[in-house]
Chain A
Amino acid sequence: GAVVSQHPSRVICKSGTSVKIECRSLDFQATTMFWYRQFPKQSLMLMATSNEGSKATYEQGVEKDKFLINHASLTLSTLTVTSAHPEDSSFYICSARVDSRAETQYFGPGTRLLVL
């Protein structure tokens, strides 16, 4: 089956620093990748949709200058949390879509970010 990996699985950083999270589709090419954030006991909230070679589309309320997304290849998308603050502490999950069908969207294992 389609596998999506994320790195790192968890990261602890100091307030004010930047953190980069990688999302890779291991056995398929993904023209579209998604980034979600999930707070404890809450659902996944879509942050942005990323298409290879073009700028990401951010959801309303998500600061594009704070959450930088780069989709440089068909198998790699990165999310950089710039100048992280404690309120950015959350579980960040990426997903990649094999084709245009919603059911072909596969999720990564998530990255737990803790900002001190």
Chain B
Amino acid sequence: QKEVEQDPGPLSVPEGAIVSLNCTYSNSAFQYFMWYRQYSRKGPELLMYTYSSGNKEDGRFTAQVDKSSKYISLFIRDSQPSDSATYLCAAVTGTASKLTFGTGTRLQVTL
């Protein structure tokens, strides 16, 4: 079992839709969680990070962590074609620890 599981998609939504991207994890030692966006043939770009359970909002993006169920989510409001990319969740046990990535979910936002 992978430590961080993520549905690879692809997920196709119309422009303006609310997107929900999800990951589950098995390692209870994970304390910090990140979401990265990766465009095709590019390196990942950090979107959001969170240290605790609950919600964290940044513009159109909301990250949600539920440590009791080991479930993390990223919501994208008013999705745009420019949001089309692969979204990777990642977790670390300690802030200086190595990142453990999910497989990524490919998102396609259509006009």
Which residues of A approach B to under 8 Å, CB–CB? 4, 6, 34, 41-46, 49, 91, 93, 95, 100-103, 105-110, 112
Contacts and interface: CB of A to CB of B under 8 A. Distances in A.
Interface of B: 6, 8, 32, 34, 36, 41-46, 49, 88, 92, 95-99, 101-104, 106
Contacts of B42: 109-110
Given A44-B44, A91-B41, A110-B41, A105 B99 contact: yes
Main secondary structure of the interface of A (DSSP, over half): strand
Given A110-B43, A112-B41, A46 B99 contact: yes
Given A43-B101, A43-B104, A110-B43, 8 more contacts: A100-B96, A102-B49, A102-B96, A103-B95, A107-B44, A108-B43, A110-B41, A110-B42
B95 A100 contact: yes
A102 B41 contact: no
B43 A103 contact: no
Given A42-B103, A43-B101, A44-B88, A101 B44 contact: no
